[in-house]
Structure 1
């Protein structure tokens, strides 16, 4: 910037339901010496709470025989548990038989195991004879291929449509004949639980006979449909009891654990009651049953001695899965259900079949999963792993329409307590800039469907749905265009405005303008904020302009920074501008006239003489500097634009103007544009020279008389 004055010398699901089985461990029973101590009755089922925590829930697995004399067998349900009622203590000469439904028969080509709890009622403690004190007669676990199928029962001599009396336990041949197998369930195996001793008949020589000091009941096995199972005692039939074991705990009002394991390769059945020794039955399947597919269930009978004979299950004789558990966790292993998940976050699905009951093979196991559209699944990055008891199982992954299917390549051999677990990773989708999005999106965990076929050809299906979680769909606001003058003087207001854009509806936030004076080194020397909101009426408007006025600024260099943040602390991009505020540099005052008055030529001595300005003609200069403190020094110069000339004459002046601080020097006359005076400094200046200071006059004695004047140009320069 340059100023001059002249003077006369002056900035997986579709939900499909089958016969599902569930496990509820609500109470832990107290077990003492292999027996369960009673706790409390449940819904009329004696002391079921003793074993309730170990039972599985079954539904429509058993068929009670309903036609016949004295039928009392049925299936009751307590809290979802199917309880097989074989006989009842309120019925004398009552009989019962309950068989597996057709689809739940045992396939003896495969291994299986089953475990159940048996209840034999409570002894009365009254009566003169042991049989009057004890519960009776008993019941039997039976496997058969009788031609009457699930309607089979032991017939008596009274006809073909009645049960066979107390001694037959609903399975053995008629007790009142001595030949053949009349009345027996054919093609069968029975394990009896007998608590009424037919001393001279079916139970002769089995346990105590007439000795009341010995245990009264027994457990043994035999083949009811084979003549070799029976003998005779005069006119009475007797029965050969294999592996007979004395039992004194029938009628103790407790539940007793009974387990069976079938080894298809060895063709042998192993059973165990409570803490009694385990017994193994060698069994020729074709000779005994004539088929490998058999019914199984329970028979029982009462006479004068009566009993509640009941069965509840803790393991089913084929693989069934009874419970699916599914978790979705973040990388820290924390569940995200009902929580908010960030965009792009990795999640791991963990699907477990925790309650597998029974022994055998599961074929064609498939775990199907339908994933929400906000989740990304890639076979390459999913790290999908199927584990059996912690060990990897070879499998394949396929996509079928909306479902991803994880399936095992080979049949899985399972036993009770095994666990199958599938885990795989997904990622949530990245931000999508779609105007009007909600701040959070509800993400469905996705339907899960587990299917398989077990060793008897039964199709198993179990659906599951874990719930949902939320995806943070809050996208940070964006700043589009920053408008601000990059250079301005101190006399003008500094204003700035920016265009903002917010993608989410029902959001709000703040646009922050920070102006930093670069000379101070401080952040946010000046700050102003403007709030913004997106439309809440449903008509999404997510754009606007935020504008601020910082007023007048002192001279200097500034940096303007603008950013926005929504109510959930999502921060926008940052826009900046460098701003220069220039203060004015003004030449306020220079002398109008430098007046040397009248000089007498004849008074000049020694050839030349220096003269001050005339009395009262002081020389004053004023500079106003409103620039920043760091501005470059200014320079003020006085230049002789026109040397002394005589008014109206061509004669030259003999002498010169000079700066008193430098002295007149040795030259004779001035020349055009000669520099008379220079001042270089920062800040404002107000200086007055006295008459004998500043610019003075030298006159030589050769001067011609006349009236002389010169023009001095005062120049103020900003910078070097």
Structure 2
């Protein structure tokens, strides 16, 4: 016995040395992986390690800073859990997206056991912070359970419900299983090594796999009965000299092990799948209406962050009642990871935390010369005017999107002339970006905090295409609580088929680069085109490209009426902004792809108005009544004038109407205000009467409407013969109201 004890001790020491050596190597591999990890959000505000003991999970640093990743395991026989805090649980009542990068080490066939993404409302242990698989003694169980599924280590458990009761309750899990637990029969009893004998894993069953299910539900497990026969020797008699006689007696007892139903699996492609030292990106999308979860695997390139084509995607039903039976509308979520005799370093970097900030970013590149959006693999002509637009959107969350830095990576076959940053909240100042900044190709631009009141930010960059090829470029939008990225497709820029240069210059009234005009007037812009080799300019092959106030207007061919090399472009008045300067940019392109320089004309539209000048009070000349109808002319204080500063050629018409003339003592005066022109006499008390219309003949036109009124024309008070004057030769005052009206058109 002493010898056996010594031998066992030596083996244990030797084994310990081997384990230590493996651990050091794994930690070195993990350290290298963390140094190359993609960027994520800082975890301190959102996650904390589960309260199980021991717990191998801990927050670790990457090259992007502290608490950028969670390390779940880094040695054999470990269990790690990490969960969202109480105030960062996920809402089940709104659509949510979670995204992360996952690392499984590079130990290939010696790896195990993997990780699991888990949503749960298991309040049995520390309000869910202590959730994990629990054995008969109440202690956490690792190995094939991944810390979330039930355990069949008690071979006497005969029902799936008993196994389910040991897993995390009220939960849904997506496992990333790196070890094939395929033991069957008597060898599987009590060993916890049989979950992957499920027939739903149809191929490559010895490789890693991804699958989902409900750890706390009996339907997740299949029970397998194994009768075990044992033989014992029983004394059945006594032989010669009293020697006992023994006989073998066989007894049979049923024991059980479980396999697991794998819902919507994604199976391993090779023996080293998942455990090849790569970071894998995973996106999970919760649909609150349909109560489904979609998991998308390997949808981004770990080195570039660029989207991958045709990633693997699966959608499963996750009824709210299965994970939130009390109807709280929330769920705690996180990761579990475990190792056994086979093990691996497991780590996760969180890119988007659901419920905190819901955000996205897109990029689009438009060829303004052809008015076409550039797609992957397209070609554009050299010198074409281009517009690159990044759109950022905040769609909700418990927090604003904070501390955003736009880390722009721009195409190398564009020369930028400038750009702007504008916001959905118009009260935020627009930011200008210079050509010098943009032509560094990489720059960081601060973005104002985004929220419900400022839900969008738009970065617009203008430039021209330069011959050459551009690879797909990705820009990142990094906030302290969320990340987004957007890509510009790869495209080629082709050089013109002829090398002579095309130039444009403004001529005539446009040569100064400034034009002032009145409203409602098209503005002619004239210029000259020429080639530096003095070759002829073909009118039929030359197209003008106008851009007014940043908007591309319809292109035009040179007019046949223009003299050789000259052009006229009429800026449409409907596009001009009144009362301010308008920026017209103009360039030309021929059918050989040659593009001229860009010229600029500033067109200022004068602000004008149509105004009426009348006194607030006026009177008619004193008159002695004689019992007959009389026309009484206004006093000199009734002066009426129209001022039109809208510019030459604008029309107007003036109308007027009046109320009856009244006296508190005599009542209504038997008279009416009329407008007399020749033999025509119109009564203003019956409604509006046209007094005058005109067309402005200058930019500042003033018309004296009352200047030619006489005792027999213009506005007159038509008093009837039965009108009664004052008492005892005292004058009687009557008052009325004249209402004036304009139209800005002829009649």
Q: TM-score range by the shorter chain?
A: 0.3 to 0.5
**Structure with the larger RCO, 1 or 2 (CA within 8 Å, 6+ apart):** 1
| TM-score (ref. length: structure 1) | 0.38
Point out the structure with the larger helix share: 2
